[in-house]
Amino acid sequence: MLTITPFLWFDNQAEEAMNYYATVFPRAKKLAVRRAGGHVMGVEFELEGQKFMGLNGGPAHKFNHAVSFFVGCETQGQIDVLWDKLIGDGGVADQCGWLKDKFGLSWQIVPNVLMSLLSTGDDRGQRAMQAMLKMHKLEIATLQAAFDAVS
């Protein structure tokens, strides 16, 4: 069986990141900490069923928006909790549900209903899109109200 595991390059915070993400996601599991010469070299963890690996590879490479993790949420409460935790302690909000956490890793915290609102191909989808473009954290009620508005 083939598997695909995101492999994250940290400067020297792989274990800190694993521990942090374990406080953010309810079904997180810390799987392994690998040490060499008394230092943490890598970690393995699972977030909501997805396995991740982290490496303390030094400062040569930084995260950017070219790769992000898309988190689909059923409720506004889920969005609020994840957003607040990932933004907390040094994260940065971005437009349209995107954010960078304190490690510089990009996340998209998105309501599952968004794609159905945006993909109608009519004015309703355009209104929802325009509402989304004005937001940082996505608000389901605001998106739905824009979608439902009478032109």
Domains of the chain are: 1-59 (3.10.180.10), 63-151 (3.10.180.10)
Reported as type and span, the H/E element at residue 21 is helix 14-24
Q: Is the pLDDT of residue 57 over 90?
A: yes
User: Cα separation of 136 and 27, whole Å?
Assistant: 26
Q: What is the pTM of this model?
A: 0.93
Instruction: Find the angle CA(44)-CA(4)-CA(79) to the nearest 5 degrees.
Output: 70
Q: Is the pLDDT of residue 91 over 80?
A: yes
